Amino acid sequence: MTEHVKERVVSLPSCVEIPTDGIDVWEIDARQLKIENRIASGSYADLYRGTYCSQEVAIKVLKPEQITREMLREFSQEVYIMRFVGVLSVFDSGICASSEFMARGSIYDYLHKQRGVFKLPSLLKVALDVSKGMNYLHQNNIIHRDLKTANLLMDENQVVKVADFGVARVQSQSGVMTAETGTYRWMAPEVIEHKPYDHKADVFSFGISLWELLTGELPYGLLTPLQAAVAVVQKSLRPTIPKHTHPRLRELLERCWLQDPSQRPNFSEIIDILKQIAKE
C-alpha cells in the first residue's frame, strides 16, 4: 500500500486481527481496485463486481451500520482462510475483501433459478472440482461447515470453486468441533444435534449437494428446513435417489450421508471414485 492509503487504514480491534504467517499476502493496492455495479446484497454485506489490476474480481463490502464484534471475527476468519483465493483491504469507508469473480454465479441459482441441468459428464466434472477444493481445505485442517450449492461458484468455463468461508474454521487439535453452523437442508445430523463433529460433516453436505446436482431439486423440498432437520436426525431421512442413477454414484451418495461420520469417505477417496465413474 502507498503511504497515502496507509494513513486511511482503520486500526481494527484485537478481535479483528487477521492471523498471518508474517507475509501479508492479503493486502492490496487500493488505487488498483475499481468497484463497479452491485450484484448482490446480504444482511451485513454487499457484493460488487469490479476489477483489480485489470482482472475481474468480486468485492464483499461490510455494511458499517451492521458491523458487530462477532461479525468482524467471522470476517477476519474468512479472510485468513481465503487468502489463497482472495485479498483484503481496510479503509475508513468500510471493510472489504476481494476475490476472483465467477461469471456464471452459484450452482444453486443455475439449478433453481435458471433451471439448468447437468448431464452425467458435466455433473462428474463439477463434483470433481468441488471434491478437489474440499480435499485441499481438509488437507490444511480446515472445515468449511456450510457446504451447499449456493456456495459453489462457476466461471465462464464451467470451472466450479468452493466459496464463502465466513463460518469455516481451522479444526481443533482434538479433531472435533461443536456448535451448530450451516444450513439445515445440507447439514449433517451430528451438527444438527450439537454433537462434536469433524471434517466428515462436510462430506455429508457434499453428498446432499451431489444429489441436488443429479436431480436439480431442492433437498427435502416439501419440508421446511426445520422439519427436514428433525427428520434427518430422528428418522434418518435422506433424499430419494432417482431409479436410473449410475450404481457407483448411488453407492457414493449413500456412503456420503451415512449416519455414522466415521463410515463416510474422505474427499481423496471421493475424487478417486468420481474419476473411475467418469472413465466408465
CATH code of domain 3-100: 3.30.200.20
> Is the Cβ–Cβ distance between 201 and 190 less than 8 Å?
yes
Q: pLDDT value at position 29?
A: 65
What does pLDDT average to over the chain? 77
What is the per-residue burial (b if ≥16 Cβ within 10 Å, else e) of 211-250?
bbbbbeebbbeebeeeebbeebbeeebbbeeeeebeeebe
Mutual angle of helices 120-139 and 267-279, in 10-degree steps? 160
C-alpha grid cell, residue 54: 485489470
CATH class of 107-279: mainly alpha
Q: Which residues pair with 245 in a beta bridge?
A: none
Q: Is the pLDDT of residue 85 over 70?
A: no
Q: Determine which of 22-26, 156-160, 183-187, 276-280 has the lowest per-residue pLDDT on average.
A: 22-26
Q: Which residues pair with 124 in a beta bridge?
A: none
pLDDT in tens, 1-28: 333 323 323 333 333 333 344 434 445 5
- Provide mean pLDDT across the span 237-251: 97
- Provide mean pLDDT across the span 199-210: 97
> Is the Cβ–Cβ distance between 218 and 112 less than 8 Å?
yes
Judge whether 146 counts as a catalytic residue: yes
pTM (2 decimals)?
Answer: 0.72
Annotated catalytic residue within 21, 24, 29, 146:
146
Q: pLDDT value at position 236?
A: 96
Q: Is the pLDDT of residue 177 over 80?
A: no
Indicate the domain borders of the chain.
3-100, 107-279
- Provide mean pLDDT across the span 90-105: 59
Q: pLDDT value at position 186?
A: 95
